[in-house]
Amino acid sequence: MSMDNDILEVLLTREEIKGICERLGEQITKDYEGKKLLLVSVLRGAVVFMADIMREIKLPCEIDFMSISSYKGASSTGVVQFKKDLDINPEGYDILIVEDILDTGLSLKYIVEILKTKNANSVKICTFLDKPENRKADITADYIGATVPNAFVVGYGLDYNEKYRNLPYLGVLKPEIYTK
């Protein structure tokens, strides 16, 4: 059975996603010229976006990863669990957090607060998707790929119970899949 059968609607095609990465990469390249850029991906969902966007940034940059968890199945628990810290000391870097989706904002606000205590020159956010309808924390991204409606989206790194991350597009998951 194909994963495509579980998708209600395609929101962003592979080609549209490529255009988003090119646009963001061009802007980030301009904004970070002459700076010591550290891209920080939030595992696991953002790894696909991180790989694509870093290839579009035409500057020297370093990458590192953090891991937190606040979701169980289809919904946020509201409790952020820290699983992996940075390997690189961020002092003196301009950090750009690369995230898959800015949803409630609780997890990302937590990450930003932690990174701001580590003596980085700056901490900004680049998110593939912004879902403002669901926001619970006072936080906005500096770079936004696309704004999406309050629907359960999967593909291009985003998952439901670790499935669908490998879809090359962004789709809305059929409700009967996650309400079983």
Tokens describing residue 158: 């985003």
- DSSP label at residue 103: S
Neighbouring-strand partners of residue 7: 173
Tell me whether residue 103 is one of the annotated catalytic residues: yes
103, 130, 142, 159: the active-site residue: 103
Strand stretches in the chain, DSSP E: 7-12, 37-43, 61-72, 75-84, 94-102, 122-130, 143-147, 153-154, 170-173
Q: Which amino acid is at 63?
A: I
Active site positions, annotated? 103
